[in-house]
Structure 1
C-alpha cells in the first residue's frame, strides 16, 4: 500500500475573464512538517517561478528562500502537523507564506545566519503569528520579477 503524504491544491483563474482581469493564481501545498518534505516546497516554488518566466536568478533566489523559510519553521512545528505553503503569483512577484502549528508562542530568531540568508534572498520577509490552540507561526516572503519596482 502506498501512502501519499502530500496534498497539492491548485486554484486556476476562470477562463471567462480577460487576461488583464484575471486574479492572481494561488497554489497551496501541504506536506508533513518534516525535513524531507522541504524538497517538495523548493521544487514547487522553482517550477512556479520558471513557468511565470522569472529570470534564472530570481528562480534560484526563490528556491533557496523557500528552503530556508521551511527549514527554519519545521523544528518549531508540533509533532504530526503539516507545513503549508501558499504561493500567490501576480504580474510583479511571487509571494510565499509558509505556516506551521507550534506548541507555544514560538518565533524564529532574527539574529541568526539563516534569517540573514532569507532576508538577502527575498525582497520582503515578514514573520506572522496567530494566537490560539494551536499557535500558528508563518513566514511570508516575496521575490519580484526582474524589472519591477518594489511596492
Structure 2
C-alpha cells in the first residue's frame, strides 16, 4: 500500500534540519536499514539545499515523501524567479546520484521540481 506525506515550509536553510528528521523517520518507519536512512537524510538535505538556493523570495518548499513496498520517492518543489536550470554537473548533484537510485529534476511553470528515489534492497540471505 502506498503512503504519502507532504510537508510545506518556508524555503529557508534553517528548515533543513526538520526535513532531515522527517526523512529519517519515514525511512525508519518503512523499515530501511541504518545506512539507507543516513543516505536518504543526506540526499534530502542536498536536494532541498539546491532548491532553496534557487527559490524566489518568500517561496514555500513543498516536499512529498511516498513509500510503498518498492521504496521511497521524495519529490521537492519550489517557486523560482527565473528559468535557471539546476546544475547537474555540480558536486551536490554527484552526491544525489551516488546516494539515491534515481535523481532527476524538471522545470514547472512555477519553478523547479526535484525527484529522488531510494529502492528497498532485497536481502537474499
TM-score range, shorter chain: over 0.9
In structure 2, the residue matched to 1:56 is: 34
* Cα drift, residue 106 of structure 1: 2.4
The alignment yields a C-alpha RMSD, in angstroms, of: 1.1
In structure 2, the residue matched to 1:92 is: 70
Q: Which has the larger radius of gyration?
A: 1
* Cα drift, residue 81 of structure 1: 1.1
* Cα drift, residue 63 of structure 1: 0.5
Query: Is structure 2 residue 18 aligned with structure 1 residue 40?
Result: yes
Q: Taking structure 2 as the reference length, what is the TM-score of the superposition?
A: 0.94
By relative contact order (CA 8 Å, sep 6+), the higher-ranking structure is 2
In structure 2, the residue matched to 1:124 is: 102
Count of residue pairs brought into register by the alignment: 123
Unaligned runs of 5+ in 1: 1-21
Query: Following the alignment from structure 1 to structure 2, what is the Cα–Cα distance between the partners of residues 99 and 106?
Result: 14
- Whichever structure has more helix as a proportion of its residues is 2
Runs (4+) of structure 1 exceeding 2 A deviation are none
In structure 1, the residue matched to 2:81 is: 103
Query: Following the alignment from structure 2 to structure 1, what is the Cα–Cα distance between the partners of residues 72 and 4?
Result: 10
Q: Taking structure 1 as the reference length, what is the TM-score of the superposition?
A: 0.79
